[in-house]
Amino acid sequence: MTATDSHQWVLPSVVEFQPLPEIDLPLPLRAMLRRRGFDRAAVEDLIQPRELPDPLDDFPDLERAVERVCLACKEKEHLAVCGDYDADGMTSTALLLRAFEPLGARPKAAIPSRIEDGYGLNPAMVDRLHGEGIRLLVTVDNGVAATEALERARELDMDVIVTDHHTIPADRPPMTALLHPATTPEGSPYRGLAGVGLAYVLAIRVAQQLCRIDSIQVARDLFCIGTVADMAPLTGANRRWLLEGLSSLHRSEAEGIKALQRLAGLGDRRLNADDIGFQLAPRINAVGRLGDPALVVDLLTESDPGQAMALARRCDDYNRQRRELCDAIEAEAIALLEAEQADCIPPFLLLAQSHWHHGVIGIVAARLMERYHRPVALLAGDGDGRMRASARSPQGFAIDEALTRCSDLLLRHGGHPAAGGFTIAAQHVHALHERLNDLAEPWLEQQGRGRPLRPDACLSLKQVNWDFWSAMEKLQPFGIGHPTPLFWSRSCQVKDCRTLNGGHLSLTLVQDETERRAIAWRCSPPQPMPALVDVAYELNVNLWKGEKRLQLTLKALREHQPDTRINRGRRQYDVKLDTQSGDEVSFNLCNDASDVLKARWTDRKGVDSSDSRASHPEIERLLWEAALSLGLTP
């Protein structure tokens, strides 16, 4: 959130007056779940996920993969675990190293350098590992599209087990076995697994086959970290295993995980998904972005507490360096953009500087996307007159499709709708920007230039209490596929407004004599600050000097709008408060012909009107939308 944010507030859809009455949760949470498409069974499965099917029934190649790894364990064979340099790939690598070694195999890690080698398994790695006497490769979080490397492995008579969750190419390369979510049946709970989840499936089955389940006692801890760090959907198997793992992650037997927790100041309390996402994962990811990913693998497989702490401190140093680089590049990018485009921000933001660091430009691109609500590509020098880019895109603009339509200008490209990357000759950058602007302009015009803000439900500040927080905890963990709830509150008085060190905004909000503290990260106060505001926020717990307090993390703030407007295509309806007495509120709905319909709201009955027109289904829905826009119903 910034002081200059321009949001389009898109209020939630109308649901039934008392949604999901059989679920023991506060009404705003029930309304939120109903809007997300949950029925009673789905809510129960969310809170207490069902038993998982045998993965052997869902993964066609799992049995073959297990047999080959078991053979390697029994014969004490050397094998390579070929990972990736992000948190998913590094935790997956460490997971299999820790799982296979106690079973008799002799595994080693093989992770390419982000800067020198690029992504994934490559023919040079295959040749090198073959020369070291290795005849079994297990890829994690990569490999499914490494056609040249896999063909080279076949030429050298090497077995390759691929565990990957990236897109399977139309012409599947040769491999001994493939563990991939897309090979499972439609509706399988394993469909959302990231690379570390697939590694976990393989490790569990091998340990069970060899009757050594003790060998994977740390595997679930690594699964939790990798799954949250990779932003995998927190549904199905991911949700069940994460709920089980979070109950004991703070007591992990992995010395490296213990060291990271101590450095992050997490203490000995039970951890949640946010602790992983905002404290542990960045310290791991920073190494893959700026340094040698072997450091993280060493940390997560280290058994000596002192050595683990030394390695964790190196990770912490990289994370500090990553923050400094990101802040510097972001500030430079904003200055470049607003100096050159002060009056007209282009539909597609493309900025290039040869000295920017490849490892962090994706993070900064994501920040700029959030700030300006536009697709963004940041380019850094790649030598020999080339630029390498990371791109990020808001929902609704598919960056992978846009890059495909510009492929004649690119040396290489890839990605998915929300994120991508490409390499381009420097002389083609201007032409690329022009074409990307042409592609983004229609999308921007259609969705509006303000950033869409979609709250899940309306709360009064009085409802923000520990009972509500306890109910919300039943729905955790939140993440991809089940996002953190975004609430909104109307007509809050700003009692206190302060700017904190680091450029954060602290507010004290008051509504009907109830006070709540709010924080807006990396935000300066709007000038002037309105006396009454509507706010959109996530709900968090702030722990400071041993004291726990509920805190509103602001995502948007606007001057309070006592009257609202409903848009229905070309027609507009104004909603105006009339009177309020006890639990009854009167309001008027007025169309563009100045025709007025009077209605009432009570907490017992909902919307009621003596006007005969209110019985028409479309008019009735309009009245409910009016009540929702006034914050009378969640």
pLDDT, tens digit (0-9, with 9 covering 90-100), for 317-327: 999 999 999 99
Q: What is the end-to-end Cα distance of the chain in Å, rounded?
A: 23
Q: What angle do CA 278, 86, 298 make, to 5 degrees?
A: 95
Residue 581 contacts residue 574 (beta carbons within 8 Å): no
Pick the last residue of a domain from 250, 283, 304.
250
Residue 394 contacts residue 373 (beta carbons within 8 Å): yes
For residues 500 and 428, state if they share a domain: no
Residue 286 lies in a domain: no
Distance CA 435, CA 433 (A): 5
Q: Is the pLDDT of residue 391 over 50?
A: yes
Please state, in angstroms and as integers, the Cα–Cα distance from residue 210 to each residue in 72, 102, 197, 217, 219, following that order.
12, 11, 20, 15, 16
Looking at residue 447, its pLDDT comes to 77
For residues 62 and 188, state if they share a domain: yes
Query: pLDDT for 74-111, tens place per residue?
Result: 999 999 999 988 899 999 999 999 999 999 999 999 98
Looking at residue 4, its pLDDT comes to 43
Q: Looking at residue 437, which CATH number applies to its domain?
A: 3.10.310.30
Residue 268 lies in a domain: no
Please state, in angstroms and as integers, the Cα–Cα distance from residue 108 to each residue in 234, 333, 349, following that order.
30, 41, 42
For residues 388 and 491, state if they share a domain: no
Residue 332 lies in a domain: no
Pick the last residue of a domain from 409, 431, 448.
448
Angle of helix 195-209 versus helix 62-74 axis, rounded to 10:
60
Residue bearing the bigger pLDDT, 291 or 258: 258
Looking at residue 521, its pLDDT comes to 87
Helix H or strand E encompassing 291: none
For residues 592 and 527, state if they share a domain: no
Domain total in the chain = 4
Of all residues in the chain, the percent with pLDDT exceeding 70 is 97
Residue 208 lies in a domain: yes
Looking at residue 114, its pLDDT comes to 63
For residues 617 and 511, state if they share a domain: no
For the chain, counts of helices (H) and of strands (E): 20, 23
For residues 234 and 108, state if they share a domain: yes
Query: pLDDT for 6-30, tens place per residue?
Result: 678 888 899 988 899 999 999 999 9
Distance CA 228, CA 340 (A): 38
Looking at residue 2, its pLDDT comes to 47
Residue 246 lies in a domain: yes
Pick the last residue of a domain from 542, 559, 576.
559
DSSP reduced 3-state for 500: strand
Range name among 119-133, 317-331, 460-474 with the lowest pLDDT average = 119-133
For residues 22 and 87, state if they share a domain: no
For residues 423 and 482, state if they share a domain: no
The arithmetic mean of pLDDT across residues 369-373, rounded, is: 89
For residues 365 and 511, state if they share a domain: no
In the structure, what pLDDT confidence band is assigned to residue 117 with cuts at 50, 70 and 90?
low
- Within 10 angstroms of residue 549's Cβ, the number of other Cβ atoms is 11
Distance CA 430, CA 349 (A): 12
Q: Looking at residue 22, which CATH number applies to its domain?
A: 2.40.50.460
For residues 117 and 208, state if they share a domain: yes
For residues 379 and 474, state if they share a domain: no
For residues 96 and 237, state if they share a domain: yes
Note down the domain range covering 579.
564-629
pTM of the model: 0.86
